[in-house]
């Protein structure tokens, strides 16, 4: 893996850039896990972790779900930065595993225009595919990031 090239705290702080004002209103919204058996996972997350205050109205619960703030931990294994053949798997091809994180934005189209200017790689643009109004981009390691607006997501779900 090459010689140790770990970051100092000072260098890490310098690498963290001041957010662009175009990102006002963006929130880190979700980390997605693929589950094997919803009959086991749903009771675990509802009984063991006890989420509270989930609206019962379908549309309200969808908007609520896609409006929560979340945390993303970026874990670095020392030495990987010089590895010419890293062994990361983004989970979106076989064998499937981790899927993506999601970021809510006030305007998906405007966010995607900005990503294009920044030469960000797209997996899916807002008007591609069956699910309109959402996009997927890739981070430098190939992990997928969903770009969404809670109201748009609620509008995609039939009101039954």
Any known ligand binding at 34?
A: yes
Any known ligand binding at 17?
A: no
Q: Which residues are catalytic?
A: 146
Average the pLDDT over 37-63 and give the result. Answer: 74
Residue partners of 57: CB distance under 8 A and separation at least 6: none
Residue of higher predicted confidence among 113 and 78? 113
Average the pLDDT over 80-101 and give the result. Answer: 80
Average the pLDDT over 64-76 and give the result. Answer: 72
Average the pLDDT over 51-78 and give the result. Answer: 74
Any known ligand binding at 73?
A: yes
pLDDT band at 44 (very low <50, low <70, confident <90, very high): low
- Predicted confidence (pLDDT) per residue in 146-158, tens digit: 999 988 888 877 7
pLDDT band at 122 (very low <50, low <70, confident <90, very high): very high
- Predicted confidence (pLDDT) per residue in 127-145, tens digit: 999 889 999 999 987 889 9
Confidence (pLDDT) at 1: 47
Mean pLDDT value across the chain:
82
- Percentage of residues of the chain with pLDDT beyond 70: 85
Confidence (pLDDT) at 85: 82
Q: How far is CA 2 from CA 72, 84, 136, in A?
A: 28, 10, 33
Task: Please work out, in degrees rounded to the nearest 5, the angle formed at the alpha carbon of residue 85 by the alpha carbons of 81 and 88.
Answer: 80
Residue partners of 100: CB distance under 8 A and separation at least 6: 32, 92, 136, 143, 144, 145, 146
Does the pLDDT at position 14 exceed 60?
yes
Rounded-to-integer distance, Cα 23 and Cα 63, Å = 20
Read off φ and ψ for residue 126, nearest 5 degrees: -55, -30
- Percentage of residues of the chain with pLDDT beyond 90: 28
Any known ligand binding at 113?
A: no
């Amino acid at each position: 893996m090459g010689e140790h090239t770990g970051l100092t705290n000072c260098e890490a702080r310098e690498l963290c850039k001041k957010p662009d004002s175009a990102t006002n209103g963006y929130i880190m919204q979700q980390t997605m896990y693929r589950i094997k058996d919803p009959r086991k996972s749903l009771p675990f997350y509802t009984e063991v972790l006890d989420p509270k205050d989930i609206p019962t109205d379908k549309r309200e619960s969808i908007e609520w779900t896609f409006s929560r703030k979340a945390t993303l931990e970026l874990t670095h294994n020392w030495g990987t930065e010089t590895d010419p053949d890293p062994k990361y798997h983004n989970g979106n091809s076989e064998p499937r595993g981790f899927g993506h994180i999601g970021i809510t934005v006030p305007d998906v189209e405007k966010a995607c225009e900005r990503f294009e200017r920044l030469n960000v790689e797209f997996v899916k643009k807002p008007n591609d595919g069956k699910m309109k109004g959402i996009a997927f981009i890739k981070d430098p390691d190939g992990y997928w990031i969903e770009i969404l607006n809670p109201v748009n997501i609620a509008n995609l779900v039939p009101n039954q």
